[in-house]
Amino acid sequence: MTAHRVTLRSVAAGLAASLLLFCVGCATGAPAAEVPRTAPVHPVHEGDEHPPPAVVEDGRGPRALPYSPLCRRVKCIALTFDDGPGPYTAQLLDILRRENVRATFFLVGNEPVHTHPDLVRRIAREGHVVGNHTWTHPVLTGLPEAEVRDQLSRTQTVLQELTGVRPTLMRPPKGLTDARVTGVARELGLAQILWNVTATDYHNTTTELVRKLVLERALPGGVVLLHDVLPWTVPAVPDIIAGLRKAGYTLVTVSQLYENMQPGGQYPTWATPAPVPPPPAPARPQPTAS
């Protein structure tokens, strides 16, 4: 009898939860079904520590990543910064200039770029790579294809106007991409840049923890996701740079990390091992005098 009452209670609780979700959907106008997609979506939310492996369109799994000749010889790592420019970007640029480091910035076209056009120009002028992070930072996989194209095209236009260079890299917000997003990126000449190292700095809100997590999670061929719009992240950058250099890393831009990136392609593909530089050759024994 007791088990029977527990079962009825469980069923009733499940029905109540379903009804609550239904009512919330009605109240918020949430759609009843997801937007149809032509390929599986692999959610890689900003802050994930271990993203799932990406799947290429032909279904044969990830191909070897095209690391540059430099980054096949040495331990390379690329610092990337999302969602700016913002109130802390100038401070970050001062740090990078002082440390002689080039980074990759994925900029949001609407308010950040229009609010700080001089910073966009400075980013490009000081040798950093400018990437497209959409117009208003929506999840692209939830938009019709025409809106995906508009989000990326408008940002391409304004960034080219400000810097004189048309971006060739984009980062889909929250790392969410699918076949439609890939098709539009290919059409616009944009490679999709994801990441394989993060400090989860939207959730870990102290400078020391951001520094610690980047240095613990760094790996050869790494693409580090950080956000220059966060006040605790930018102060961590000097110690991150020092720690990476102490560990033998060469800091590069994404464009220096890879060669021959293809429009629409995803970099990195997480199932592909990062390059490990060969060990140094053993020292030759010196001949002894006879």
**Using one digit for the tens of pLDDT, what is the confidence trace for 131-187?**
999 999 999 999 999 999 999 999 999 999 999 999 999 999 999 999 999 999 999
Stretch among 40-54, 79-93, 193-207 having the lowest mean pLDDT: 40-54
Across 221-243, b (16+ Cβ under 10 Å) vs e yields bbbbbbbbbbebbbbbbebbbeb
CA–CA gap between residue 214 and residue 188 (Å, rounded): 32
| Marked catalytic residue, from 116, 128, 137, 227 | 227
Is 227 a known active-site residue? yes
Largest CA distance in the chain: 98
pLDDT for 65 equals 84
**What percent of the chain has a predicted confidence (pLDDT) above 90?**
66
In 218-270, which residue ranges form alpha helices assigned H by DSSP? Answer: 237-246, 254-257
**pLDDT tens for each residue of 216-266:** 999 999 999 999 999 999 999 999 999 999 999 999 999 999 999 999 999
pTM comes to: 0.75
- Write down the residue that tokens 């980054």 correspond to: 71
- 239 in active site: no
Tokens found for residue 115: 């609010």
Distance CA 130, CA 78 (A): 13
pLDDT at residue 122 in the model: 98
List of residues 6+ apart from 247 with CB closer than 8 A: 75, 215, 218
d(CA 12, CA 5): 10
